[in-house]
Structure 1
Amino acid sequence: MSGESSKGSDKMFFIIFSILVTFSQASVWDNLTASIAVVEYQPVYNNVTSRDKVIANSVNYMTQMYEIRDKTKIDMIIFPEATLGNNPETAVEIEIGASCTTTTICVDAQIHAVPYTALMFQTYVVVNLVEKSKCDESDESQNCKDYGFHFYNTDVVFDRSGTIINKYRKYNLFGERELDQPEQPDQVIIKTDFGVTFGIFTCFDILFKSPAQDLLNQGVDAVIFPTMWFSEIPFLTAIQTQQMWAQTHNVTLFAAGANNPAVGSGGSGVYRGATGAVIRDVIAEGGTQFFIYESKNGEVAPLPSEDTDSLAKQMDGFYLKRDPSIDDYSSQILNTSATTDFQTELCHGNETNESQICCNFTIKMSVVKPETDLNFYTYHLVAYSGVRSYDGVYNGSIDVCAVIACLNSSLSSCGERFSKYEEVQWPVTFEEILVKANFEKTDNRTQYPNSLLSSIRPIDASKTVWNAVNVEDTGTNLIERSFSIAESQNRLLTFGIYGRNFDLDPANSNDDDDDDDGKGFATSIMISGYTHGIMLSFSFLLVVVTLK
């Protein structure tokens, strides 16, 4: 429901299993009766003070909470990252256990409308803001020397009584130079009275082992994921990333995304692990919308059918970044004119290189003659294992085996999208795709099933098969990953395996420098954001009067 407004003959196979298994927390979800909302929210951008922006967004949050309450009795509402307060100027102190009431302000007057409304509606609420924490006198970090405080990107959880029951400080910062990284990643657990135990992490954290993957060892039933994502093709658009993570780890993910199409931010959803999404959307033309996950005795409405072409047209004006590491990939053009059946191996690196990868592709396709007056994509098979830069703020090691759409035969055209969808034709239909590769089996390597359609949504997980087989090769324990389609596809932009090798992330891999690139989510969104046209300058007292 929505509101208005993821060789060799000496190998020995000794364990075979499928990632597409019965959902691991079935006892929790099969009998659950609860309603949980994720909000895709477009912040207020204007020229008033930072404090007035926080007040304006706080009131808008309150409005969303009223609209959600009008739809159904709600148990939890999740708001995205960096859309309430996103700089140290409006930072607040957070005390776990503090209670907000009609007469007591537990956080700060500028955002009191949020916990106060949570109290009125008797619902859990998750918000993201900038927290300040007093420094020890001996602390020589820059913010401590300049201000006497640490500043953190912090998720705050209020319970039904308006009490702060937990907080999570984002560990893997995306630039965000004005903020501090916690000394250690937190593993935050949130137990609710409706029976679901949540973990929580924020945005860029999803691409790292800690805290995101380590959190799963704590027995959580689901993960809360506030984010301000900047979508990048071919592998890391917002919904694509959310689904691949939930699918490979077989855990429910509640993702609330900030919305700003001008910088590529948008994409929210609810993903039931390996079984796929039940809610997913991006407000492509800008705006705010909530989505409600409703479970009644374990019964949940399936993902509605999607009109791929209609959604794709809406994405024409949505900014999409390009992964610059594509230029370093090994590549082979898929010859759609010579054959309809195709099988090959493509490698990157060499045997003496610990980051070598060999990808095996099996493809069956049917092709119609393209019209001369319309564009069509050229497909490349690609392989890569090595270090890439994430917007100049972090260097991380990735593994790639995939089929990707390109504008032409040049690798430099891959990761680009034709600007007008109505001028694109799709002469290639993939009847079968199987992508397979071996990886060292270790807790510090993870692989994800990764796909993308022209709508900038992934193929629904139920229409793919994601498998793993444990393999021994000359005394080395490997895992053979395979990803295949279960139904033919003819609007394909990406299909393959995307992996992270945390062992090969360079030491001190934060790649920040002193120029203006890579300032991170909190800063760039304010610079690139456009004016929302709302000028609000009023006191907290007026907010309380409105609530009453």
Structure 2
Amino acid sequence: MARRHNLYIVANMGDRQPCPLTTDPTSSCPSDGHWQFNTNVVFSSEGLLVARYHKHNLYFERAFDTPPQLEIVTFDTPFAGKFGLLICFDILFHDPKVTLVEKGVRQFIFPEAWMNQLPLLDTIQFQRAFSLGANITLLAVNIRNDELIMTGSGIYTPFSATYHHAQRGDPEEGRLLVARVPVLDPEWRATGEGVSTSSAAAESGFCDSESCSDASSVPPSSDTFTSSMMYDPFTFALLSETEGRVKVCDGTFCCHLQYQRYTQGGSEELYALGAFAGTHVVNGRYALQVCALVRCAGLDPSSCGQIVEEAESKMDFLLEGKFGTRYVYPSVLANRMVLEDPKHFEKAADGRVTMKHSDMTAGLITACLYGRMYHLDNE
């Protein structure tokens, strides 16, 4: 197919490899003398196998083995330079994702079978968050399986997002996404052959620099409660007014919000600001610091953190936290799984991360700063 159509093709498949049997009980070689890996293969436009990557971070994949050594795999193209390879659950971990970024890789191919995990890790939500937070291009293709709630693919650059998120009841068929994207490979761009693109974050008129800068001086809300969100105990504070400021802390980690809410059609909706700092331990283990503004599923505070797919209230907001990591991924998810790019996103040297947004086109489901504390994953 690659040769016939003069394309580079990346395909996800299983790979069976022989391994040396040994009496060593610590050996990772299965008893039948073969490893089975979840694998990306890359074929060039000449039909040659030019790269192969074995998935490092498995997610309940009993048919597959973790490779004995971490693989950092890239391939070069004559039209856009270098690409890195990831598979599904890999995107949540330091290796190989961050290692590739720190080696200068700015373009990634990302096959996945990702369940839509609202309200923080919906498929397109986190695809976009990783692209913005890491300042990279991500070509993400998800399998379509409605029973497992697996939908959502996209082409994301630091400047644009082209995506499709199927809704329940939609015909279960594929959607071809096509977009023109800038070449981000620094070596390729240095030759002058790549497409040079620049972007300037648009400033919102929601608050001026003086009123934004003193967000940390707001005292923590005295009326907080704990509710489970994605199996983690978030500390929440309700947004009880149509505008105001809220601060909520989980231990020493604090999240600040300045907001103005616009209700639509007189509907009643409850919103809350949540903070979590700790290790997620359900269906994977990884350390987090998260600030999240969410629409609650009902009008009872205990519903905050539950799955919500629709919202009518629009919000102008400034969301800020001081993180113990520079790996923070921003997202704004609107009614019926529509992405909105924040008007302003900034990471300061002291760990302070700010996301500002206004003039929403649809109701707010989630606005999130998702911090990954990779260095604490094994503690």
Could you list the per-position Cα deviations for residues 363-384 of structure 1 after superposition, in whole angstroms to 9, with x for gaps in the alignment?
122346725xxxx431011111
**Cα distance, 1:487 vs. partner?**
2.3
Of 310, 328, 335, the residue aligned with 2:240 is: 335
**Cα distance, 1:295 vs. partner?**
5.8
Q: Residue 468 of structure 1 aligns with which residue?
A: 347
Counterpart of 1:380 in structure 2: which amino acid?
A
Q: Residue 306 of structure 2 aligns with which residue?
A: 415
Q: Residue 254 of structure 2 aligns with which residue?
A: 358
Could you list the per-position Cα deviations for residues 180-211 of structure 1 after superposition, in whole angstroms to 9, with x for gaps in the alignment?
11123211111012232101111111111111
Aligned positions of 1:478-489 closer than 5 A: 479-488=351-360
Q: What TM-score comes out, normalization by structure 1 length?
A: 0.57
Distance change in 2, residues 1:390/1:191 (3 Å): farther
2:11/2:42 contact within 8 Å kept? yes
Of 231, 244, 252, the residue aligned with 1:325 is: 231
Of 443, 446, 449, the residue aligned with 2:330 is: 449
Q: Residue 162 of structure 1 aligns with which residue?
A: 47
In 1, Cα distance between equivalents of 2:61 and 2:125 = 24
Q: Residue 235 of structure 1 aligns with which residue?
A: 120
Of 292, 296, 310, the residue aligned with 1:402 is: 292
In 1, Cα distance between equivalents of 2:2 and 2:143 = 20
* 1:500 maps to 2:372: yes
Q: Please state which structure has a larger fraction of its residues in helix.
A: 1
Query: Alignment partner of 1:416: what SS?
Result: coil
How many residue pairs get aligned? The number is 333
In 2, Cα distance between equivalents of 1:359 and 1:177 = 39
* 1:190 maps to 2:75: yes
Distance change in 2, residues 1:195/1:403 (3 Å): closer
Q: Residue 288 of structure 1 aligns with which residue?
A: 174
Q: Please state which structure has a larger fraction of its residues in strand.
A: 2
Counterpart of 1:480 in structure 2: which amino acid?
R
2:113/2:143 contact within 8 Å kept? yes
Aligned positions of 1:92-103 closer than 5 A: none
In 2, Cα distance between equivalents of 1:181 and 1:202 = 13
In 2, Cα distance between equivalents of 1:377 and 1:287 = 34
Q: Residue 62 of structure 2 aligns with which residue?
A: 177
Aligned positions of 1:64-463 closer than 5 A: 117-138=1-22, 144-273=29-158, 275-277=159-161, 279-284=162-167, 285=170, 286-294=172-180, 298=195, 323-326=229-232, 328-336=233-241, 340-349=242-251, 356-367=252-263, 370=266, 376-391=268-283, 394-406=284-296, 407-417=298-308, 426=312, 428-430=313-315, 432-441=316-325, 446-459=327-340, 461=341, 463=342
Query: Alignment partner of 2:31: what SS?
Result: helix
Distance change in 2, residues 1:357/1:295 (3 Å): closer
2:114/2:150 contact within 8 Å kept? yes
Q: What TM-score comes out, normalization by structure 2 length?
A: 0.81
Distance change in 2, residues 1:490/1:291 (3 Å): closer
Distance change in 2, residues 1:365/1:294 (3 Å): closer
Larger Rg: 1
2:255/2:321 contact within 8 Å kept? yes
Unaligned runs of 5+ in 1: 1-116, 301-321, 350-355, 472-478, 508-548
Query: Alignment partner of 2:131: what SS?
Result: helix
